[in-house]
Amino acid sequence: MRHFRSAVLLLTLTLAFAGSALADTANMTFLGPAGNNSGGVYTYPYEFSINGSSTPVGLICDAFDNEVVAGETWTATVTSLLNGSQAGGGGMFAGQTLNYRAAGLIFEGIVNSTIDANVGNWAIWGLFSADATTNAYFQSSGAALVEAQYLLAALLAPNSAYANLVLYTPVAGTQSWSGSIPQEYIGLVSVPEPAEIALMLLMIIGGVMGFAFRQQLGLKLAVAQA
């Protein structure tokens, strides 16, 4: 019985650890822009270390009116794009659901190389900032047309089109630089399919129960030999 209780405890800790991997906050370190620029500002990708990872992650900015500096750190809430876009959902522009949906589709187009990174980033900025739309590059690059096309596409796209998109929304007051609240970013994450999640849970449970039975069997053999 003691070994079974240990196995149950191990299972509980394992599931708790698995849950922590889906934490709703992240420690962000802005490493710097990757080099693309237009209209006098840098565009996607902005490179980050997330939770201390040594592997840079490229994110796209949707908050034109905010600023960050290389080396700046802050805490961000992490939500799915669809959840964060809802009123009260936690996104910097929560309630502008259609704009967020269009931004997500544009970002996917940039990642898939069907939309130019400079034009696409300006199109995303234009969704949320009137100042961005007055920039000469926005007006001459076709960003306004991309914005219009993807606002229409967002009306028709199923929710499944946004399954891998997340928002990194800064928590006010956590930034290391004394400037304004940092920018919000959109990123791509790998989301396990339900079948994959079920398989992982079965493997965890099977491993834990196997451990318990092996321990119990070893105890019985020891008693029998005695």
Q: Judge residue 177's burial from the number of C-beta atoms within 10 Å of its C-beta, 0-12 exposed, 13-18 middle, 19 or more buried.
A: middle
Does residue 6 fall inside a structural domain? no
Does residue 148 fall inside a structural domain? yes
Which of 87-101, 115-129, 170-184, 200-214 has the lowest average pLDDT?
200-214
Does residue 173 fall inside a structural domain? yes
Q: What is the pLDDT of residue 22?
A: 42
Segments of 34-184 assigned E as strands? 37-38, 41-42, 46-50, 57-61, 73-80, 165-170
Q: What is the pLDDT of residue 225?
A: 58
Does residue 95 fall inside a structural domain? yes
Average pLDDT, integer, range 56-76: 97
Q: What is the pLDDT of residue 212?
A: 52
Average pLDDT, integer, range 91-101: 98
Confidence class for position 179, pLDDT limits 50, 70, 90: confident
Sign of CA dihedral 6, 10, 11, 13: positive
Q: At what angle do helices 2-20 and 194-225 cross, to 10 degrees?
A: 160
Average pLDDT, integer, range 72-88: 97
Percent above pLDDT 90 for the chain: 72
pLDDT at residue 130 tops 60: yes
Does residue 166 fall inside a structural domain? yes
- Count of beta carbons in the 10 Å neighbourhood of residue 39: 20
pLDDT at residue 127 tops 50: yes
Give the chain's end-to-end CA distance (angstroms, integer).
20
Average pLDDT, integer, range 60-79: 97
Does residue 107 fall inside a structural domain? yes
Torsion of CA 164, 91, 29, 125, to 10 degrees: 90
Q: What mean pLDDT value characterizes the chain?
A: 84
Does residue 172 fall inside a structural domain? yes
**Residue written as tokens 């590059």?**
137
Which of 4-13, 46-55, 94-103 has the lowest average pLDDT?
4-13
Does residue 203 fall inside a structural domain? no
Q: What is the pLDDT of residue 224?
A: 55
Number of domains in the chain: 1
Average pLDDT, integer, range 4-15: 45
Q: Are 117 and 44 in contact (CB under 8 A)?
A: yes
pLDDT at residue 7 tops 50: no
Q: What is the pLDDT of residue 117?
A: 98
Q: Which long-range contacts (CB under 8 A, 24 or more apart) does 141-149 make?
A: 141/38, 141/39, 143/119, 146/106, 146/115, 146/119, 146/120, 147/102, 147/106, 147/123
Q: Give the domain range for residue 56.
A: 23-191
Neighbouring residues of 56: CB distance < 8 A, sequence distance ≥ 6:
31, 47, 48, 49
pLDDT at residue 14 tops 90: no
Q: What is the pLDDT of residue 178?
A: 80
